[in-house]
Amino acid sequence: MAQILGVVNQKGGVGKTTTTVNLGAAFANRGKKVLLIDIDAQSNLSTHLGIITQDDTEDISDPSDQVIPGIYEVLKGTKEIKEVVIERSENLSIVPSSLLLSAADLELGGVVGRELILRRAIDKVTNDYDYIIVDCPPALGLLSLNALAAVQKVIVPVQSEYLALHGVRQLLDTIDQVRTIYNPGLTVGGVLICMHDNRRRLARAVADTIRAYFGELVFDTIIRANVSLAEAPSQGMSIFEYAAKSAGSEDYDALADEVLKGNETSEES
């Protein structure tokens, strides 16, 4: 059975997609079978790994022109998740997203059990993978609720910037509510400091505040600001393919080790 992780923060541009891609790639490099699921209408995860190109997502007057079926069709019930999985390499597969997803909130609004659609879809493939990671959009709408209802652990990337914690309290409250109503096993796997520039005093101060606020919940690993991480998506590559010796590779390798180690200790206890 797969461990199912969600990368969630309603704040935009904090490193959710970068973390999903590179944590997933690091697991795959360790021989784990990984499925990444893109539930953001921006489709950044799908473009980051070269599954769809920018041209597929821009300048389309009718989004249904887009040919690759993905998570939208799964949520609408017109395709099974297995039918839309794209195998990118031996260990790394992806369920892509599309612009159509931007209408899903509205379209699924009247469906009974609408918060549990993703969970039911993932249940059908959980035996095929070691890790399933869901990349969430920058909003706490129906799509993120579906992710929270489906995953076991949430990873919350935060930037060590002014207002980093803005909205995180609301996110934690939402996680509490989802745990009570839909998903008793839901835990916060960790708060991940991303795009950190240790040379900047403000960043160091914010990182200290984050640690003071969340304590043990903060990953020891910090993802440094690293230009290769920002460049890799334009080549359709993970950081390990684009710049294997960069600080970005080092940091996401360390994060993968920390998550794997955390799982070992929680299995023992």
Ligand X SMILES: Nc1ncnc2c1ncn2[C@@H]1O[C@H](COP(=O)(O)OP(=O)(O)OP(=O)(O)O)[C@@H](O)[C@H]1O
Among 40, 56, 115, 161, the residue binding ligand X under the rule CB under 6 A is 40
CB closer to ligand X out of 46 and 226: 226
98 binds, among Mg ion, ligand X, none (CB under 5 to 8 A by kind): none
Tell which residue, 56, 93, 23, has the closest CA to residue 262. 23
239 binds, among Mg ion, ligand X, none (CB under 5 to 8 A by kind): none
By CB under 6 A, tell whether 88 contacts ligand X. no
8 binds, among ligand X, Mg ion, none (CB under 5 to 8 A by kind): none
Residue count, binding to ligand X (CB under 6 A): 19
222 binds, among ligand X, Mg ion, none (CB under 5 to 8 A by kind): none
d(CA 173, CA 167): 10
Interacting stretch for ligand X, rule CB under 6 A, among 37-45, 50-58, 113-121, 125-133? 37-45
State the minimum distance, in angstroms, from the CB of residue 52 to ligand X. Answer: 15
d(CA 93, CA 25): 10
State the minimum distance, in angstroms, from the CB of residue 264 to ligand X. Answer: 26
> Nearest-CB residue to Mg ion?
17
Interacting stretch for ligand X, rule CB under 6 A, among 36-44, 124-132, 178-186, 253-261? 36-44
Interacting stretch for ligand X, rule CB under 6 A, among 72-80, 109-117, 175-183, 218-226? 218-226
CB closer to Mg ion out of 194 and 259: 194
By CB under 6 A, tell whether 43 contacts ligand X. no
Decide: 239 and 249 in contact? Cβ < 8 Å: yes
Q: At what angle do helices 247-268 and 16-29 cross, to 10 degrees?
A: 70
By CB under 5 A, tell whether 18 contacts Mg ion. no
Interacting stretch for ligand X, rule CB under 6 A, among 13-21, 63-71, 84-92, 101-109? 13-21
Decide: 20 and 252 in contact? Cβ < 8 Å: no
d(CA 242, CA 177): 40
By CB under 5 A, tell whether 91 contacts Mg ion. no
List the structure tokens of 79: 């395709």
Decide: 141 and 39 in contact? Cβ < 8 Å: no
State the SS3 of 32-83.
CCEEEEECCCCCHHHHHCCCCCHHHHCCCCCHHHCCCCCHHHHHHCCCCHHH
By CB under 6 A, tell whether 101 contacts ligand X. no
Show the site string, 134-153: x = touches ligand X by CB under 6 A, - = not.
----x---------------
CB closer to ligand X out of 81 and 223: 223
List the structure tokens of 179: 């745990």
d(CA 102, CA 143): 10
Output the DSSP codes for 127-194.
GG-SEEEEEPPSS-SHHHHHHHHH-SEEEEEEESSTTTTTTHHHHHHHHHHHHHHT-TT-EEEEEEEE
Residues that bind ligand X (CB under 6 A): 12-18, 40, 42, 44, 138, 194-195, 223, 225-226, 229-230, 233
